[in-house]
Amino acid sequence: MSATSPTGAGADPSLRDPSLRDPSWRDWLLSDTPASRSQAAWGARYRLWCDFRANTLAMGGLIVIVLMVSAALIAPLVVPYDPAMQDLTNRLARPSALHWFGTDELGRDLFSRILMGGRVTLGMVVAVVVLVAPLGLAVGCIAGYYGGVADRVLMRVTDVFLAFPRLILALAFVAAIKPGITSAIFAIVLTAWPPYARLARAETLSLRNTDFIAAVRLTGASSARIVLRHIVPLCLGSLVVRVTLDMSSIILTAASLGFLGMGAQPPSPEWGAMIATARRFILDQWWVPTIPGIAIFLVSLAFNLLGDGLRDVLDPKQR
């Protein structure tokens, strides 16, 4: 019903919100009669961006993430202190002009450690996503497209991994190898892929019997080509949303592993491990464990807000 054409609005300037009258690139993007495919595509993207921009919370999340990523990238250049430098004469100092967030139990500057810790967290998140998304996508698309035995076996395996709570499987797995960042990454990957596989399978199943896939098949395309060129790209949208929403869960699992002593090991400035070593000071020097906690919270909240906003825009049906 809301499909009333903006042509009408364009033809009748009085009906148009004057504040929205803008430079010509905007008209070009919002044109109802695009002259080329790229204009149409960019117009569609611009409309999505407009919808997204209207969501203040999601924009806030995006800004925090951009800030965090840039801070993590330039951290080694800007940190005021060496994050590993101890100063036992200045232990557990309150936040001050010299040490913005105070110092920890070994007199190390917390601000520098938080910034460098952002690199560790970001690195783990990127590593997990890079491994997990293709793995889940591959399993899901193969199961969904080929069906039959492949589907049954793969989905059974998926079920088994879904049958463990994530953190507990990750804990047992890390314990079995050796606590540390690398094993934490693999443990999280091991526990994070099943939902992706399920999602990709569901999308593939809904696409498999569509007419356009039948048409591609009639042209003689191989099934590998169909999956890679036609099905995978269409699964990416929901996958991106899922990844963004999953980021915070990955961050929290990584931090929990660190907190329980099974992830990054001290003296690494990983936020969860920092909280673990500082937790005994919670009653007297509460800021020492709280500040890394706030860092985890902010980043993970930002990803959640962004993911929520993305889902509303890209997938309005499942708000």
Partner 1 sequence: MKRLKALAATAASVPITLFGLVLVTFLIGRVMPIDPVLAIVGDRAPADVVAAVRLELGLDEPLYVQFWIYLGKLAIGDLGRSVMTSHTVWEDIKRFFPATMELATVAILFASCIGVPLGVLAAVRQGTKVDHTIRVVCLAGHSLPIFVLALLSLLVFYATLHWAPGPGRQDIMFDEQVPAVTNFLTVDALLARDWDVLRDAVAHLIQPAAVLAYFAMAFIARMTRAFMLDALAGEYVITARAKGLSAARVIWKHAFGNIAVRLITIMALTYAGLLEGAVVTETVFSWPGLGQYLTVSLLNADMNAVLGATLVVGVTYLAFNMLADLLYKLLDPRVS
Partner 2 sequence: MHVDIQNLCIAFPGATGISHAVRNVSLSIGNEKLGIVGESGSGKSLTARSILRLLPRSARLSADRLAFDGIDVLKASESAMRGIRGKRAGLILQDPKYSLNPVMTAGAQIAEAWRMHRKGGAREARDGAMDLLDQVRINDPARVFAAYPHELSGGMGQRVMIAMMLAPDPELLIADEPTSALDATVQAEILRLLDDLVSRRGMALILISHDLPLVSHFCDRVAVMYAGRIVEQLGAGELARARHPYTTGLLECLPALSHPRPRLAVMKRDPEWLK
Residues making contact with partner 1 (CB under 8 A): 57, 156-157, 159-169, 171-173, 175-178, 248-249, 252, 255-256, 259-262, 272, 275, 279, 282-283, 286, 289-290, 293, 296-297, 300-301, 303-305, 308, 318-319
DSSP 226: I
Q: Which is nearer to partner 2, 1 or 224 (CB)?
A: 1
Amino acid in position 113: R
Q: Which is nearer to partner 2, 8 or 80 (CB)?
A: 8
Across 236-261, b (16+ Cβ under 10 Å) vs e yields eebbbbbbbbbbbbbbbbbbbbbbbe
Give the Cβ contact number of residue 294 at 10 Å. Answer: 13
Q: Which is nearer to partner 2, 22 or 82 (CB)?
A: 22
Q: Residue 76 binds what, of partner 2, partner 1, none (CB under 5 to 8 Å, by partner type)?
A: none
Give the Cβ contact number of residue 165 at 10 Å. Answer: 10
CA 258 to chain centre: 19
CA 116 to chain centre: 20
71 contributes a contact to partner 2 by CB under 8 A: no
Q: Which is nearer to partner 1, 30 or 298 (CB)?
A: 298
Count of residues making up the chain:
319
Q: Which is nearer to partner 2, 156 or 317 (CB)?
A: 317
Cβ neighbors of 290 (< 8 A, separation 6 or more) are 282
Q: Which is nearer to partner 1, 108 or 311 (CB)?
A: 311
24 contributes a contact to partner 2 by CB under 8 A: no
Mapped onto helix, strand or coil, the DSSP state of residue 109 is: strand
Q: Candidates 16-24, 168-176, 185-193, 304-312: pick the segment binding partner 2 (CB under 8 A).
A: 16-24
In whole angstroms, how large is the CA radius of gyration of the chain? 24
25 contributes a contact to partner 2 by CB under 8 A: no
Cβ neighbors of 6 (< 8 A, separation 6 or more) are 30, 32
Site string for partner 2, 31-60 (x = CB under 8 A): ----------------x--xx-xx------
Q: Residue 300 binds what, of partner 1, partner 2, none (CB under 5 to 8 Å, by partner type)?
A: partner 1
Q: Which residues inside 192-231 make contact with partner 2, applying CB under 8 A?
A: none
CB of 11 to partner 2, least distance (A): 6
Mapped onto helix, strand or coil, the DSSP state of residue 103 is: strand
Strand partners, 103: 109
163 contributes a contact to partner 2 by CB under 8 A: no
CB of 236 to partner 2, least distance (A): 23
State in Å, rounded, how far the first CA of the chain is from the last one: 20
Residues that bind partner 2 (CB under 8 A): 1-9, 11-12, 15-17, 20, 30, 47, 50-51, 53-54
